[in-house]
């Protein structure tokens, strides 16, 4: 406020006039299609559309190949940001984690925020049978047997229309690779 009191109207008016003129010129140069809202998401990756179709709540039980007891899991998929991102909230035996799915350069980018304190990023491939395999991106700084992190995932969506899906994953923990698998059922609102 002190700055404005020190400036006279003779000083401020020319600056405001120039700013308004310049802004008007910039608006006149902008193409009309830039003003359209909302922007429709564009995808060239069928796996992203398949992930978007999972929106809702899924429940199941996860089994592990290291002999530990099965645990309950809850997965909530939510499409956000005008359809450009999917956020999955994953609760495994009461411990919450998150995974995001979004498009980058025409391909789905997946990032997992793990309870192990790591954030691996994945690329995906989708087979014709409806399975999406998530493999580590080349720029992920984690090493199997060295770091604790989620190393891969696979979603079998062949039964998704029947509100069922299977998923598996490999976690590198303490130098061991542990494989998990689960069958989840979509919770329906009644």
CATH number of the domain within which 87 lies: 2.40.128.20
The answer to whether residue 145 is domain-embedded is yes
Residue 37: is its pLDDT beyond 50? no
Same structural domain, 16 and 64: no
Same structural domain, 67 and 99: yes
Same structural domain, 118 and 31: no
CB 72, CB 61: distance < 8 Å: yes
Which of the four pLDDT bands, split at 50, 70 and 90, describes residue 144? confident
Same structural domain, 89 and 172: yes
The answer to whether residue 41 is domain-embedded is no
CB 43, CB 103: distance < 8 Å: yes
Same structural domain, 152 and 71: yes
- Residue 121's closest CA among 97, 147, 141, 91? 141
Q: Which residue has the higher pLDDT, 33 or 93?
A: 93
- Cut 0.95: pTM above it: no
Same structural domain, 91 and 155: yes
What pLDDT is stored for residue 44 in this prediction? Answer: 53
Same structural domain, 117 and 94: yes
Per-residue pLDDT, averaged over 82-88, amounts to 96
Which of the four pLDDT bands, split at 50, 70 and 90, describes residue 170? very high
What pLDDT is stored for residue 145 in this prediction? Answer: 84
The answer to whether residue 60 is domain-embedded is yes
- Please enumerate in sequence order all residues whose Cβ is within 8 A of that of 165, keeping only pairs 6 or more positions apart, or say none: 54, 58, 155, 156, 157, 159, 183, 184, 186
Per-residue pLDDT, averaged over 98-126, amounts to 94
Q: pLDDT tens digit string along 10-31?
A: 443 343 333 333 344 433 444 4
Same structural domain, 169 and 79: yes
Residue 180: is its pLDDT beyond 70? yes
Terminal-to-terminal C-alpha distance of the chain: 58
Domains held by the chain: number: 2
Query: Alpha-carbon distance 57 to 76, whole Å?
Result: 4
Residue 121: is its pLDDT beyond 70? yes
The answer to whether residue 6 is domain-embedded is yes
Same structural domain, 53 and 146: yes
- Mean pLDDT computed over every residue of the chain: 82
Q: pLDDT tens digit string along 38-71?
A: 444 444 589 999 999 999 999 999 999 999 999 9
Residue 148 belongs to domain spanning: 46-186
The answer to whether residue 100 is domain-embedded is yes
Same structural domain, 91 and 129: yes
């Amino acid at each position: 406020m002190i700055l404005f009191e020190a400036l006279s109207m003779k000083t401020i008016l020319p600056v405001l006039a120039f700013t308004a003129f310049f802004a008007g010129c910039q608006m006149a140069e902008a193409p009309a299609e830039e003003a359209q809202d909302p922007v429709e998401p564009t995808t060239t990756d069928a796996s992203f559309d398949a992930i978007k179709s999972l929106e809702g709540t899924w429940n199941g039980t996860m089994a592990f190949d290291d002999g530990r007891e099965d645990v309950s899991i809850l997965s909530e998929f939510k499409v956000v940001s005008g359809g450009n991102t999917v956020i999955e909230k994953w609760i495994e035996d009461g411990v919450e984690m998150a995974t995001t799915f979004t498009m980058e350069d025409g391909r789905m980018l997946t990032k997992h925020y793990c309870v192990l304190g790591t954030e691996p990023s994945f690329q995906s491939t989708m087979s014709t049978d409806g399975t999406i395999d998530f493999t580590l991106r080349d720029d992920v700084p984690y090493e199997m047997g060295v770091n604790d992190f989620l190393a891969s995932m696979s979603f079998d969506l062949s039964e998704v229309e029947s509100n069922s899906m299977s998923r598996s994953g490999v976690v590198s923990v303490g130098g061991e690779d542990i494989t998990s698998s689960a069958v989840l059922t979509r919770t329906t609102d009644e």
